[in-house]
A and B are shown apart, each in its own frame.
Chain A
């Protein structure tokens, strides 16, 4: 089977459409960055407190909001998170609510506020928010099974079982202590029914980032992105010629701007993993560009008489099936990651999904036409019309080895 056999599309003839398309997306993104949502930095970069809570049944956001108000938290962001069936809620506090002196104060206030929505159960511990070591401590002090010397180890094993049962089979929230019957020994369950209750929520995940770390990471992320682009420029300069490197880096920069612009337009948080995805894209979207450039260089030597625009067109067409297939296959896996990879990686995989599409487009519609534009500019200015195509010594060496 073959797709795209012997295509003969005049890509360069459509350069104005490409330019318009790229401009619309970059400008829309930039407008959103500067005038609308800004760069929607996540908690990693701007600091703040995030508490992810899972409820036993459909969470009542109004009730949660009221509890947070009573606790004196200034307009926390409260929203549903993930699939509706998971009953999860994200409570987020801004940086100013996260004090340097007591970093976890906001988290504690949130948890206490949630506890306050529960009916008071004097003196009892909440099974859904108790870790295995606390359960072990409790069992040791109660000793319901009258164990002798290795009580600590045995109770730890039981505590671990309870923890596993709760987390792996019930997603972290049990509805009653009685559910433990059959999981833990009867004496243990009987004792725990006396001293534990089950609240209707469990804290799944907490992220607290102080302002200092956030600022530092922002700087690091910016540098890493610039280093990455710089690294690509140098590598392509070394392997091809400077103008090829410039073309590829402009295309990459274009991809990065559009991807970040998309996040701004959608107002999706840019977290550390999103930056990781963008850095990966800088490396990956270089691949298609290299495939096209490689062919352009080969064809410039073969087809000396033809105009550069024709050579570039021919090269894009010859490698079109490669470009589409490689990107398409990677896109398949990334799409699978986006659909099935879970909520934690959603931002990361979204960046990859957008980035791979844009990256493939830009290697055809930005990187290759850049070479033609450069040559036209040169010939206009200096009356010379050659694009450096001489294979550098490095390339010959690699070829010889292969």
Chain B
């Protein structure tokens, strides 16, 4: 009985061509160099193979909660004042650990009803609880806390991506990382000295223009004394670099600055590094329409007074408002050119909603990556040749069958990497090598079963049929267990380890096709030409 195998052979050839295309695309030339070039274009190498920097950072999401509760306190104070409700104090008892808590003390008994309705009306994101002696605690609703934190993380990812894109790093990866600890993974291929990039990423770049109420003072004490020991309402004391004559740039100065800002970073439209009329590096910025209107209103109302450019809570510059300004401004200070370039970049990319902290930093130099590729490829070739030779030696003709399957298995695996855009890491190469070793296991299981059936006196076609049938269940079992552990590895692992899990699982999945379907077709093709009574070479 001969089987018609044309359709199956066509399927195998189609699969082969399809995945070869996955590996090489349409190569520019068929020389070894041309094929290698197209291979390099299709298969993306991980950081550990091509060199680069891998950073894990954590968004200090409590900053974002603190900013929100600070705004709530400001609003509450304003509203209480407007309604003439007295209070002893409004504070945050523990801004480090519990930034979502606000405590209010000393609301007069007769105003409590009004106070409650005010809070319900004006601060819907907070729950109000009353304590002893007319004190109250406002707690941000847990859903809002979670939401604010998630938003802070996402905004941080966006901001960092903007900044890195402008640095011209090719193919950076910036994504959420870990299990809900507000971590971000940043991978920067080709960057082997991350110091500058880290600095740019970390700068929060909160730009504000506020009113300068008093200063400069040389020390905090002097500032307090000049104001009789009490800061004016709605003002804060801020540090700034001495902006006077060069030569004493490094001494600190203190300013009294309004708490509210006229415009802030989100009102910026552009920011560019340039030079002022004295040739000193500066940053020029323009404002958006809305920001420009507010800035015009502010400068119009305060002609002759001073404004302060505040960056990350530090006074960068103080200038007298000569006339109403609409939508342009500049920041000068004692900057180097590099600093103005970096500053304009961070301003353009927007402010980070919260500070970030670095948790992990790994740098792989390109020479190590090149060595790793060489070692990995060598190990793969040696392993593959050893396995192939053994199969030929041990199973004779059937060994060719297994070796062809193995070859196709590798083509499918590499083609999959080319198609999916998954990155090949060094452990990923190890996954390929393991696939070679585990892949032939299926052939061994089938061949051994066929031998056993032959020993029991079955004819070659029957033995092949029974061998595949019995081994199939075992092969499914063994593949499932290995793939299950690879999937768990994928879920738990990061970067390089994930690359391993990907190549191993896909290699084994492809192995089901090659060791069962392809190998069976080859056996059937041999049996078709087989004379009755002739022994099977296995």
Give every chain A residue within 8 A of B386 (Cβ-Cβ).
332-333, 336
- Contact partners of A84 in chain B: CB under 8 A: none
Within 8 A of A (CB), among B141-162: none
**Contacts A131-B191, A206-B362, A322-B445; A1 near B394 (Cβ below 8 A):** yes
Q: Count of A residues near B, CB < 8 Å?
A: 80
Complex contact B378–A345 (CB within 8 A): no
B473 touches A172 (CB 8 A): no
Q: How far is the CB of B412 from chain A (nearest CB, A)?
A: 18
B71 within 8 A of A: no
A126-146 interface code vs B (CB 8 A; 1 in, 0 out) = 000001111000000000000
A329 an interface residue at 8 Å Cβ cutoff?
yes
- CB of A221, distance to nearest CB on chain B (Å): 7
- Asked whether, in the complex, the Cβ of B488 is within 8 Å of the Cβ of A103, the reply is no
Q: Mark B124-145, 1 if CB is under 8 A from A, else 0.
A: 0000000000000000000000
A331 touches B437 (CB 8 A): yes
Q: Are B359 and A212 in contact (CB under 8 A)?
A: yes
The 0/1 profile, CB within 8 Å of A marked 1, for residues 463-495 of chain B is: 000001100111011101111111011011110
A329 touching B472 by the CB < 8 A rule? no
B196 to chain A, nearest CB (A): 9
- Residues of A contacting B366 with CB < 8 Å? 163, 167, 172
Contact of B493 among A168, A172, A276 (CB under 8 A): A276
Q: Is the CB of A330 within 8 A of B434?
A: yes
**In the complex the two chains form, is A227's CB within 8 Å of B488's CB?**
yes
Docked Cα-Cα span, A52 to B497, in Å, equals 21
- For window 79-104 of A, CB contacts with B under 8 Å fall at 100, 103-104
Let me know if A62 is at the binding interface, CB within 8 A. no
Interface contacts (Cβ under 8 Å), in number, total 249
> Is the pair A345, B426 in contact by a Cβ cutoff of 8 Å?
yes
Task: Tell me whether A220 is interfacial, beta carbon within 8 Å.
Answer: yes
Contact A205:B178 (CB < 8 A) given known A279-B488, A330-B434, A332-B390: no
A103 touching B473, Cβ below 8 Å: no
> What residues on A are CB-neighbors of B51 within 8 Å?
167
Interface string of A330-352 (1 = CB under 8 A from B): 11111111011110110011001
Given contacts A223-B492, A332-B383, A344-B426, contact A171 B371 (CB under 8 A): yes
A336/B433 in contact, CB under 8 A: yes
- Taking CB atoms, residues of chain A closer than 8 Å to B382 are 336, 339-340
CB distance from B437 to the nearest CB of A (A): 3
Cβ contacts under 8 Å, B430 to chain A: 337, 341, 345, 348-349
Give Cα distance in the complex from A132 to B436, angstroms: 37
A224 within 8 A of B: yes
Which A346-375 residues sit within 8 Å CB-CB of chain B?
348-349, 352
Give the nearest-CB partner of B194 in chain A: A104
Question: B484 touching A235 by the CB < 8 A rule?
Answer: yes
**A132: nearest chain-B partner, CB-CB:** B190
On chain B, the residues within 8 Å of A272 by CB distance are 493-494, 496-497
Q: Which residues of the partner chain B approach A212 to less than 8 Å between Cβ atoms?
A: 58, 359
CA distance A131 to B191 in the complex (A): 8
**Do A402 and B359 form a contact, CB below 8 Å, given A276-B497, A333-B433?**
no
Residue of B at shortest CB range from A168? B370
Q: Chain B residues near A349 (CB, 8 Å)? A: 430
Q: Which of B359, B362, B367, B370 contacts A54 (CB 8 A)?
A: B367
Contacts of A23 in B (CB 8 A): none
Q: Does A398 contact B (CB under 8 A)?
A: yes
Given A272-B493, A276-B500, A337-B433, A395 and B473 contact (CB-CB distance below 8 Å): yes
Q: List residues of chain A with CB within 8 A of the CB of B488.
A: 224, 227-228, 231, 279
